[in-house]
């Protein structure tokens, strides 16, 4: 099979593979060397970590001690990173115990392992420009002689921000803490503690380490994109100097940071669902702050390095109190308040995304059809391109024509198609004017096979244009929506790239770009879409798809406007974390879906069930089976066939316009010739209560009338109805006469009906005696069945109101007529008014001819035996298993229908697929929604919520609320959503405060157990317990214990 529509469908949603260059730092516990202190005591003190912006090998590392003003007092140690980017530095005697700034500088022998597309190929070692350096400010804990200091671009940003804060008046220690907290907020992980790992080596990494690796890689896309990397790094690290990153004057926008993060995450393998959820949440936060991300910092929660336990406890109590306020504020909102708080109306989402996203889909569909049409008839394409012609083709929606479009083709380093036209949707007309620019070489279009003969590694199509409602209102505007098809290698085949060849190199596909959508009801959306497909490497859930592809992600980000003009910003992202391993499309299409399919069945499926005469023609059997209980079926069957029993056989044939007009005139003329020249009509005059007579010329009476019907009854009587033209007879004096009767003697009777509601024109009814009067008319009608041996027209019926015009054909059921039909089915069936599309010698021709010429017979219905039922079910199971694999094997069969009526014996199957997920193979996905909320207690709040399903029956919800003066995150998880017996929860903020809880509930939902910890910068300062059903945090503090109820 050559590649045509499959590739095109994929090409409509291509993926961008962006490789990030990043890394992180790692700490070393090794305690080597010793140095004296100025106080005279001797202890071994060292600084360790790793330098990662991409792993920096053999870079120079220097530690400086800072004074309270943040100035370097001098070097307190130097060393060099090893081949893994790690370093360990012994502080020398000059160190006095203050803050330490570590600086990692690239030298001529320094090599960075690139893991971003922006800096080269993954794993490639590159040299770094002069001046490329990373920094970190670290603190030596009072009870430790070691300093852990990952040195990354993010730590460099923190160091720069700290110096900016010092310049603004903070002490060095305060500034360092605040800067670290702010960068933690911006980056989404603890930049001062999280071990930095290379994004290409995440084996055994924690979720936070994975997140850090991706965020470091994201920086690469910004730093190595263009220009001098050292200068770019310097600008990146300075972005937060003013307390806000990605705003005016910075080297990157928040949108660029979001995109870089998304792409780094999408291109990094080995991320677990926790890391992916956290990254999705973080990008959601970026999306909510397009004009600049301002990290929050709560000075009230600041805890100095030398803080006492009481200080820490008090600070943590403040954290708990704030979190309690936060939770209560949200908990107290009812539905209306919540909607008001979000500033969003449900209708806006529905109308904008539910309505006009269809026009977005429609535009992709139209573009796909345009491209398909171009490839299906490449010769016409070539001609059109050469002549500058346009081609008009229908727009099809599910096979139904919904409009037309003009295609204009050109070659501009690839196929370019201008697409304009109109579609009529369910309720409205939409005009479209689109341009599809591709990099598909026109030479790759096979003129003979109508297929693609070559595809590059990255096939790209850019779709732009508008949809409008025909009245000047733009419903959808696509701004360079880029569709990419990613292959592992270019592929070509002079005979057309086959599906097999394509499958071997298929990597993924994606669609990305900005769109503007407007609903007729006034709502609008202006933002970006990003959708991606990925190669399916895991097993298909139901049968083998043509192309192994799985859904990977979909993201919509932008600004929504309500119909009242109020605006809110929101984003939604759906990410499948195991998209390559899990067959998402198979799951979507088949899991718990209904089955209607059919397949071949043994021709002996009804053997012995029925007694059929030997002369039977075209015998067939219909067997039906129904499930009455799991695994238990009942059913019946019946045989049908045809016989040449010489009984009358009627067929009906519709007449076309020309036939019926000719026929009507001929019949009228014949009737005029048959009837007397004058007719005496009798009528009853109610005024005089006497019978009256009226002489009428027959020609006047019939005038230009049309014979509407002709029928020969069994006794030979012919009845004819003639529809008259207006005022054919002088009946004006008899306007109140209901009818006129005329005996036409032995010719029969005639009756004229006047206009009434049922007869819009005057009608003549004539009853003629066939032996004397029918012959002329019969001869005319008989001309319609010339070629049908012995056939006779027994009825003609014409109804202009219903536009129904047909004749009835009669002859006996004889084998010779059947044979005559089989010999020329197209002609014979046409004359008999049957399906004329049959193929000669086909089962359909045979059965149509039998049905048109012979008598239909049916046996009595019989009950099917258990063995026959079992045989049917087994056959169905075989068909399902062959077609759908394990899904078919486990599918529920509800009804079966076996028949050979249409030719080869076929078994139709109705049933349902099971839930195709298992505990070991389920869709691991997260859904992130971002929105601003208006809550008085939380000014300028923005909420990002991620729902992640990472276990078969459970998952997590991560909600982050960021407002003008604080940020809190709540993560709640359970292993089983249906039975919430165990729930874990985590409150945390970027300043190192974290409250973890594990709750156990009984079946009634009552809290039975609670445990957890109060963590401050990783230090366990308290425990969460349950006291008599009351959640309590206890904080040991010397000989006493502080405690507080949680809520």
Site string for other proteins, 250-269 (x = CB under 8 A): --------------------
Site string for other proteins, 316-345 (x = CB under 8 A): -x------xx--x-----------------
3-state secondary structure labels for all residues of 407-475: EEEEECCCEEEEEEEEEECCCCEEEEEEEEEECCCHHHECCCCCCECEECCEEEEEEEEEEECCCCCEE
CB of 972 to other proteins, least distance (A): 19
SS3 139: coil
- Specify the residue, 349 or 1043, whose C-beta has the smaller distance to other proteins: 1043
| Residue 780 in tokens | 């005319």
3-state secondary structure labels for all residues of 512-562: EEEEEEECCCCCEEEEEEEEEEEECCCCCCCCCCCCCEEEEEEEEEEEEEC
The residue behind tokens 């409602």 is 469
- Specify the residue, 295 or 1012, whose C-beta has the smaller distance to other proteins: 1012
- Specify the residue, 93 or 1027, whose C-beta has the smaller distance to other proteins: 1027
| Residue 316 in tokens | 């943590």
- Specify the residue, 318 or 591, whose C-beta has the smaller distance to other proteins: 318
CB of 1035 to other proteins, least distance (A): 9
The neighbouring-strand residues paired with 284 are none
CB of 1042 to other proteins, least distance (A): 5
Q: Is there binding between residue 741 and other proteins (CB under 8 A)?
A: no
Long-range contacts of the stretch 70-77 (C-beta < 8 A, 24+)? 70/99, 70/162, 70/163, 70/166, 70/167, 70/172, 70/175, 72/101, 73/98, 76/100, 77/47
CB of 956 to other proteins, least distance (A): 25
| Element housing 782 (H / E) | helix 770-782
3-state secondary structure labels for all residues of 37-88: CCCCCEECCEEEEEEECCEEECCEEEEEEECCCCCEEEEEEEEECCCCCEEE
**CB-based contacts of 691: which residues, under 8 Å, 6+ apart?**
682, 683, 684, 685
Closest CA to 795 of 721, 845, 901: 721
Cα separation, 905 vs 909, in Å, equals 13
CB of 1030 to other proteins, least distance (A): 7
CB of 1032 to other proteins, least distance (A): 8
CB of 315 to other proteins, least distance (A): 14
Site string for other proteins, 634-663 (x = CB under 8 A): ------------------------------
Sole binder of other proteins in the list 650, 856, 861, 1047 (CB under 8 A): 1047
Residues 1006-1045 interacting with other proteins (rule: CB under 8 A): 1025, 1027-1028, 1030, 1032, 1037, 1039-1045
CB of 941 to other proteins, least distance (A): 19
**CB-based contacts of 1023: which residues, under 8 Å, 6+ apart?**
1011, 1012, 1013, 1014, 1033, 1034
CB of 307 to other proteins, least distance (A): 18
CB of 1031 to other proteins, least distance (A): 11
Residues 358-387 interacting with other proteins (rule: CB under 8 A): none
Contact 992, 984 (CB under 8 A): no
CB of 337 to other proteins, least distance (A): 15
- Specify the residue, 255 or 1032, whose C-beta has the smaller distance to other proteins: 1032
C-alpha distances in angstroms, 29 versus 57, 277, 678, 1017? 20, 30, 126, 18
CB of 1025 to other proteins, least distance (A): 7
CB of 1010 to other proteins, least distance (A): 13
The rounded Cα 743 to chain-centroid distance in angstroms is 75
CB of 963 to other proteins, least distance (A): 19
- Specify the residue, 495 or 1041, whose C-beta has the smaller distance to other proteins: 1041
- Specify the residue, 775 or 1023, whose C-beta has the smaller distance to other proteins: 1023
- Specify the residue, 317 or 406, whose C-beta has the smaller distance to other proteins: 317
CB of 936 to other proteins, least distance (A): 16
- How many residues of this chain interact with other proteins, rule: CB under 8 A? 18
- Specify the residue, 317 or 890, whose C-beta has the smaller distance to other proteins: 317
CB of 997 to other proteins, least distance (A): 17
Cα separation, 817 vs 854, in Å, equals 8
**CB-based contacts of 788: which residues, under 8 Å, 6+ apart?**
809, 811, 817, 828, 831, 832
C-alpha distances in angstroms, 481 versus 460, 681, 779? 10, 80, 69
- Specify the residue, 546 or 1023, whose C-beta has the smaller distance to other proteins: 1023
- Specify the residue, 770 or 1042, whose C-beta has the smaller distance to other proteins: 1042
SS3 858: strand
- Specify the residue, 856 or 1047, whose C-beta has the smaller distance to other proteins: 1047
Burial class of 273 by CB neighbour count within 10 A (0 to 12, 13 to 18, 19+):
buried
Site string for other proteins, 967-1006 (x = CB under 8 A): ----------------------------------------
- Specify the residue, 747 or 1025, whose C-beta has the smaller distance to other proteins: 1025
Antiparallel, parallel or unpaired: β 458-468 and 474-487: antiparallel
Rounded CA Rg of the chain: 42
Residues 763-792 interacting with other proteins (rule: CB under 8 A): none
- Specify the residue, 559 or 1023, whose C-beta has the smaller distance to other proteins: 1023
For 596-641, the DSSP string reads EEEEE--TTTTTTT----TT-EEEEEEEEEEEEETTEEEEEEEEEE
| Residue 165 in tokens | 């804060």
Give, in degrees to the nearest 5, the angle at Cα 814 between 810 and 819.
110
Closest CA to 998 of 979, 968, 971, 1035: 971
- Specify the residue, 387 or 1039, whose C-beta has the smaller distance to other proteins: 1039
State the sign of the Cα–Cα–Cα–Cα dihedral 683, 684, 687, 692: positive
- Specify the residue, 331 or 715, whose C-beta has the smaller distance to other proteins: 331
Cα separation, 572 vs 970, in Å, equals 19
Q: How does 67-102 read in b/e, with b if 16+ C-beta sit within 10 Å?
A: eeebeeeeebbebbbeeebbbbbbbbeebeebbbbb
Cα separation, 506 vs 458, in Å, equals 10
CB of 332 to other proteins, least distance (A): 9
**What is Dmax (Cα atoms) for the chain?**
148
- Specify the residue, 328 or 412, whose C-beta has the smaller distance to other proteins: 328
- Specify the residue, 630 or 1029, whose C-beta has the smaller distance to other proteins: 1029
CB of 959 to other proteins, least distance (A): 19
Cα separation, 218 vs 23, in Å, equals 10
- Binding stretches for other proteins (CB under 8 A): 317, 324-325, 328, 1025, 1027-1028, 1030, 1032, 1037, 1039-1045, 1047
């Amino acid at each position: 099979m050559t590649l045509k529509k499959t590739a095109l469908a994929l090409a409509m949603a291509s993926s961008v593979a962006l490789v990030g260059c990043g890394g992180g730092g790692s700490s070393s516990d090794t305690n080597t060397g010793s140095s004296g202190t100025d106080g005279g005591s001797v202890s071994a003190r060292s600084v360790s970590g790793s330098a990662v912006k991409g792993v920096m090998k053999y870079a120079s590392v220097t530690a400086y001690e800072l004074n309270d003003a943040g100035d370097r007092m001098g070097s307190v140690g130097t060393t060099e990173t090893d081949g893994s980017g790690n370093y360990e530095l012994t502080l020398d005697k000059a160190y006095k115990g203050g803050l330490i700034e570590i600086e990692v500088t690239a030298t001529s022998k320094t090599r960075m392992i690139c893991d971003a597309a922006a800096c080269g190929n993954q794993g490639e070692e590159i040299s770094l420009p002069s001046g490329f350096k990373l920094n970190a400010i670290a603190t030596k804990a009072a009870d430790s002689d070691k300093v852990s200091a990952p040195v990354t671009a993010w730590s460099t940003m923190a160091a720069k921000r700290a110096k900016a804060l010092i310049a603004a008046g903070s002490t060095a220690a305060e500034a360092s803490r605040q800067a670290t907290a702010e960068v933690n907020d911006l980056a989404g992980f603890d930049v001062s503690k999280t071990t930095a790992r290379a994004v290409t080596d995440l084996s055994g990494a924690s979720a936070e380490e994975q997140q850090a690796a991706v965020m470091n890689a994201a920086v690469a896309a910004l730093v190595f994109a263009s220009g001098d990397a050292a200068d770019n790094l310097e600008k990146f690290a300075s972005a937060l100097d003013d307390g806000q990153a990605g705003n005016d004057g910075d080297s990157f926008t928040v949108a660029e940071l979001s995109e870089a993060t998304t792409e780094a995450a999408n291109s990094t393998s080995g991320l677990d669902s926790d890391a992916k959820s956290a990254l999705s949440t973080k990008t959601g936060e970026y999306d909510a702050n397009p004009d600049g991300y301002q990290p929050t910092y709560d000075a009230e929660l600041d805890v100095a390095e030398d803080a006492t336990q009481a200080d820490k406890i008090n600070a943590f109590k403040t954290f708990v109190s704030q979190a309690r306020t936060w939770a209560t504020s949200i908990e107290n909102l009812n539905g209306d308040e919540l909607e008001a708080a979000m500033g969003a109306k449900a209708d806006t989402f529905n109308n904008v995304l539910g309505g006009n996203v269809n026009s977005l889909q429609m535009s992709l569909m139209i573009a796909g059809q345009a491209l398909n049409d171009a490839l299906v008839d490449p010769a016409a394409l070539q001609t059109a391109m050469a002549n500058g012609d346009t081609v008009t083709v229908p727009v099809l929606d599910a096979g139904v024509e919904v409009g037309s479009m003009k295609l204009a083709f050109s070659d501009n380093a690839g196929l370019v198609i201008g697409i304009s036209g109109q579609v009529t949707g369910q309720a409205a007309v939409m005009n479209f004017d689109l341009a599809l620019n591709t990099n598909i070489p026109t030479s790759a279009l096979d003129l003979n096979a109508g297929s693609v003969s070559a595809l590059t590694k990255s096939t790209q199509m850019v779709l732009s244009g508008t949809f409008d409602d025909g009245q000047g209102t733009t419903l959808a505007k696509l701004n360079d929506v880029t569709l990419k098809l990613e292959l592992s290698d270019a592929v070509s085949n002079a005979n057309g790239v086959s599906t097999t060849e394509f499958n071997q190199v298929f990597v993924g596909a994606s669609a990305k770009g900005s769109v503007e959508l407007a609903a007729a009801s006034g709502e609008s959306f202006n933002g970006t879409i990003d959708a991606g497909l990925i190669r399916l490497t895991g097993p298909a859930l139901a049968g083998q798809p043509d192309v192994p592809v799985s859904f990977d992600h979909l993201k919509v980000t932008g600004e929504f406007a309500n119909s009242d003009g109020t605006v809110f910003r929101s984003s939604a992202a759906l990410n499948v974390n195991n998209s390559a391993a899990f067959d998402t499309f198979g799951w979507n299409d088949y899991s718990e879906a209904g089955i209607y399919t059919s397949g071949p069945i043994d021709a002996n499926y009804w053997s012995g069930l029925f007694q059929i005469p030997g002369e039977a023609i075209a015998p067939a059997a219909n067997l039906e089976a129904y499930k009455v209980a799991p695994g238990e079926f009942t059913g019946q069957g019946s045989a049908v066939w045809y016989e040449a029993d010489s009984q009358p056989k009627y067929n009906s044939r519709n007449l076309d316009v020309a036939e019926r007009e000719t026929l009507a005139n001929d019949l009228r003329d014949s009737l005029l010739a048959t009837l007397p020249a004058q007719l005496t009509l009798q009528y009853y005059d109610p005024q005089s209560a006497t019978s009256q007579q009226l002489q009428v010329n027959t020609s006047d009476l019939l005038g230009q009338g049309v014979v509407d019907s002709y029928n020969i009854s069994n006794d030979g009587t012919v009845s004819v109805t003639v529809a008259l033209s207006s005022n054919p007879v002088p009946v004006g004096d008899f306007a109140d006469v209901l009818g006129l009767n005329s005996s036409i003697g032995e010719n029969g009777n005639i009756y004229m009906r006047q206009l009434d509601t049922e007869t819009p024109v005057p009608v003549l009814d004539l009853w003629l005696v066939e032996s004397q009067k029918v012959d002329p008319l019969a001869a005319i009608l008989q001309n319609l069945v010339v070629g049908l041996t012995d056939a006779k027209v027994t009825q003609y019926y014409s109804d202009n109101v219903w536009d129904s015009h047909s004749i009835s054909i009669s002859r006996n059921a004889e084998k010779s007529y059947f044979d005559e039909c089989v010999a020329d089915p197209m002609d014979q069936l046409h004359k008999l008014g049957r399906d004329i599309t049959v193929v000669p010698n086909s089962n359909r021709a045979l059965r149509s001819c039998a049905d048109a010429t012979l008598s239909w017979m049916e046996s009595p219905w019989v009950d099917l035996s258990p063995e026959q039922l079992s045989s049917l079910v087994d056959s169905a199971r075989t068909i399902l298993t062959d077609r759908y694999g394990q899904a078919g094997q486990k599918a529920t069969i509800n009804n079966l229908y076996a028949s050979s009526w249409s030719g080869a014996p076929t078994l139709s199957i109705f049933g349902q697929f099971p839930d195709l997920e298992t505990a070991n193979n389920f869709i691991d996905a997260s859904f992130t929604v971002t929105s601003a909320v208006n809550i008085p207690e939380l000014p300028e709040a923005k909420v990002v919520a991620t729902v992640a399903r990472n276990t078969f029956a459970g998952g997590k919800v991560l909600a982050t609320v960021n407002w003008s003066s604080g940020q809190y995150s709540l993560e709640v998880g359970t292993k089983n959503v249906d039975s919430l017996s165990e729930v874990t929860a985590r409150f945390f903020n970027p300043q190192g405060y974290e409250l973890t809880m594990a709750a156990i509930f009984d079946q009634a939902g009552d809290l039975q157990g609670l445990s957890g910890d109060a963590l401050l910068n990783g230090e366990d300062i308290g425990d969460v317990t349950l006291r008599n059903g009351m959640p309590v945090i206890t904080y040991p503090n010397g000989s006493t214990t502080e405690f507080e109820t949680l809520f």
